[in-house]
């Protein structure tokens, strides 16, 4: 059984096997959204300096306990200068089913990204990334990404990061 997952603003169409258990989440190094000075807020999906997945053949897995045939999860999170997602910063902005959130968390634990750059220097970068799960591409619902990007552009950084801190995110660790 195979599923399709569209990841990251339409940048890559990924295919992942629907079988197998997701990896156990390890505790990420402490990272805080309160450290606003070190976080660049990414809003331009056309920039060559944008953060993006390094590999297009790695995707979130279809959760075995999913209760719907299609789902969209929109997550805001910081990608470190090392290209790793900082799990304590994950905030779900939109989600249809907690099973898909867990799948996104497991993916973010192992995913590698090209980090964001500002003036040629890799920086911790806040991104908003959609994850779409569907048995057939015609069944998924398109998240309102222009609205989320507009919020990133117009909301003062400290207010934005503060509002994300109060949202549901990835657990610190997950039993194996």
Under 8 Å between Cβ of 92 and 84: no
The pLDDT score that the predictor gives to residue 37 is 62
In the predicted structure, residue 93 carries a pLDDT above the cut 90: yes
Has this prediction a pTM greater than 0.85? no
Please give the Cα distance from 49 to 79 (Å, whole number): 13
pLDDT tens by residue, 142-155: 888 888 888 888 88
Which range in 34-43, 47-56, 104-113, 152-161 is most confidently predicted, on average pLDDT?
104-113
Please give the Cα distance from 92 to 157 (Å, whole number): 18
């Amino acid at each position: 059984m195979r599923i399709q997952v569209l990841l990251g603003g339409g940048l890559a169409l990924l295919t992942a096997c629907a079988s197998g258990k997701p990896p156990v989440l390890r505790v990420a190094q402490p990272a805080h959204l309160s450290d606003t000075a070190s976080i660049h807020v990414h809003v331009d999906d056309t920039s060559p300096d944008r953060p993006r997945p390094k590999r297009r053949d790695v995707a979130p897995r279809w959760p075995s306990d999913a209760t719907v045939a299609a789902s969209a999860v929109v997550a805001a999170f910081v990608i470190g200068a090392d290209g790793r997602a900082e799990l304590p910063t994950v905030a779900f902005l939109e989600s249809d089913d907690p099973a898909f959130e867990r799948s996104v968390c497991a993916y973010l634990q192992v995913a590698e990204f090209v980090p964001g750059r500002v003036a040629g220097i890799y920086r911790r970068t806040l991104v908003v990334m959609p994850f779409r799960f569907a048995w057939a591409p015609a069944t998924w619902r398109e998240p309102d990404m222009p609205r989320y990007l507009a919020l990133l552009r117009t909301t003062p950084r400290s207010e934005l990061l503060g509002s994300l801190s109060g949202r549901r995110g990835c657990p610190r660790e997950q039993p194996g």
